[in-house]
Amino acid sequence: MLNADQVKKDFPVLRNNKSLVYLDSTATALKPYRVIKKIDEYYKKYSANVFRGIYRISEKATKEFEDTRSIVSKFINAEHEEIIFTRNTTESLNLIAYSLGREVVGNGDNIVTSVMEHHSNFVPWQMLCFENGASLKVLDINENGLLQADRKVLNKVITRKTKIFALTCASNVLGTINPVKSIISDVRRINPNTIIVLDCAQYIPHSKIDVKEIGADFIAFSSHKMLGPTGVGVLWGKKSILEHMMPFQFGGEMIEQVSLQKTTFAKPPFKFEAGTPHIAGVIGLKEAVLYLQDVGFDKIKKHEEKIVKYFFKRIQEEFGNDVKVVGPKNSELRSPIFSFTFLNFHPHDIAQILDEENIAVRAGHHCAMPLHQRLSLIATTRASFYIYNTIEDVESLIQGLKRVKKVLR
């Protein structure tokens, strides 16, 4: 069993803010000492550019950088050259839309996504449809916040004109974990040529993923959601597709040859990594992956299921129907992300009062406006838990919400 009290000691933000109850890991996770130490090590000991120097500290930086690519590739069971470093999940998804989408999607085609998507996995496809004369089809959810994507629905939505199917593995609002493997299998059965893109930003911090098993063509995720530095994202794509895609950006390090007449590009992944990358951040990501593997994803899953069950039990006991949490209540169907409304109190007021109690939550539409419109909500308050959160943190939130009710009434 994961000992969250012990895990807390690994995070300097929690050590330096003893009373802080951090419930905003869905926005960005805290960073353990070993990740910060690894970043510090780069800047202090071998702060040189990668790939470009034949001197020792540059070679050391390059090795550390490429070691991250190897560790990430093993982490998701991919090939080394299939791992592309970007700035974040958003850039990874936009890379696909610009480099591949504008090539394969044309007038009369369609792209399928869902109403629960983060804007990063909705707007790029919407804009691509506007530009190229394609149509955007949006899968709905049911009253429990579960995606409506059974075979009957998919048979109506997926056609021979469906060029891209883009779906989140886990909703950043509902907490819903989608059965992406079975959904992908059904999509492949209807149209095996559809390019399948998964937004794994909210899934990978909590569960392992095997790209060879899941059946997608691309997955995207961010370092900062999984204890790593901000400014680093990962795009995995099938090598056979990456080799034929045009680059997203042009510049240094992604070139094979340049002449006055023409330019040829390097092979993947370097073809998609123009310019100097966030070297320290990539090296820090490696340490975050290793940290999570040391903790163990089975332990993380059990710990989070315990949090989910306890949260719903205590919310019901203390507030009944005054607090309405969106998304499924089954701990096996959701991650520990709780977006809720509280009577008629505005989410920003709730968040402000909780902050006075040193409880950090998020308020707003969480970059998921279509979903909030579908739920007939302007905004929600979101409390999200991770490996350093305890049952006591749930109790702190409960007590904080009691004060919210007292103040706002």
What pTM was estimated for this model as a whole? 0.96
Give me the pLDDT at residue 1, please: 85
Residue 198 binned pLDDT confidence (cut-offs 50, 70, 90): very high
Largest separation between any pair of C-alpha atoms in the chain:
73
Mean pLDDT (the chain, rounded):
97
Give me the pLDDT at residue 256, please: 86
Question: What DSSP string describes 216-275?
Answer: -SEEEEESGGGTS-TT-EEEEE-HHHHTTSPPSS-STTSEEEE-SS-EEEPPTTGGG--S
Give me the pLDDT at residue 269, please: 95
What's the half-sphere exposure (Cβ side, CA atoms, 13 Å) at 274? 10
Residue 169 binned pLDDT confidence (cut-offs 50, 70, 90): very high
- Based on the residue annotation, tell me whether 129 is a catalytic residue of this protein: no
Give me the pLDDT at residue 252, please: 87
CA distances to 53, 127, 131, 201, 211 from 207, rounded to whole Å, are 38, 31, 36, 11, 13
Residue 88 binned pLDDT confidence (cut-offs 50, 70, 90): very high
Residue 16 binned pLDDT confidence (cut-offs 50, 70, 90): very high
User: Does 253 have pLDDT greater than 90?
Assistant: no
- Residue 89 structure tokens: 């999940």
Give me the pLDDT at residue 409, please: 85
Give me the pLDDT at residue 209, please: 96
| Closest of 177, 167, 95 to residue 144, by C-alpha | 177
Q: What is the pLDDT of residues 335-376, one digit of tens each?
A: 999 999 999 999 999 999 999 999 999 999 999 999 999 999
Residues 125-131 have a mean pLDDT of 98
Q: What is the pLDDT of residues 284-308, one digit of tens each?
A: 999 999 999 999 999 999 999 999 9
Class of domain 36-292 as given by CATH: alpha beta
Ramachandran quadrant class, 277 (left: phi over 0; alpha: psi -120 to 50; beta: rest): beta
What are the residues whose beta carbons fall under 8 Å from the beta carbon of 181, sequence distance 6 or more?
213, 214, 215
Share of the chain above pLDDT 70, in %: 100
Residue 154 binned pLDDT confidence (cut-offs 50, 70, 90): very high
Q: What is the pLDDT of residues 27-72, one digit of tens each?
A: 999 999 999 999 999 999 999 999 988 999 999 999 999 999 999 9
Residues 311-323 have a mean pLDDT of 98
Domain with CATH 3.40.640.10 in the chain: 36-292
Give me the pLDDT at residue 53, please: 84
C-alpha span between 58 and 245 (Å, rounded): 30
| Closest of 54, 61, 129 to residue 97, by C-alpha | 129
Q: Quick one: 296-408 is in which CATH superfamily?
A: Aspartate Aminotransferase, domain 1 (3.90.1150.10)
How crowded is residue 69: how many other Cβ atoms within 10 Å of its Cβ?
A: 21
Q: What is the pLDDT of residues 212-234, one digit of tens each?
A: 999 999 999 999 999 999 999 99
Give the active site residue among 129, 169, 200, 367: 367
C-alpha span between 9 and 116 (Å, rounded): 35
What angle in degrees, to the nearest 10, is found between the helix axes of 33-45 and 56-75? 150
Give me the pLDDT at residue 39, please: 98
Domain with CATH 3.90.1150.10 in the chain: 296-408
Give me the pLDDT at residue 360, please: 98
Give me the pLDDT at residue 52, please: 80
User: Does 166 have pLDDT greater than 90?
Assistant: yes
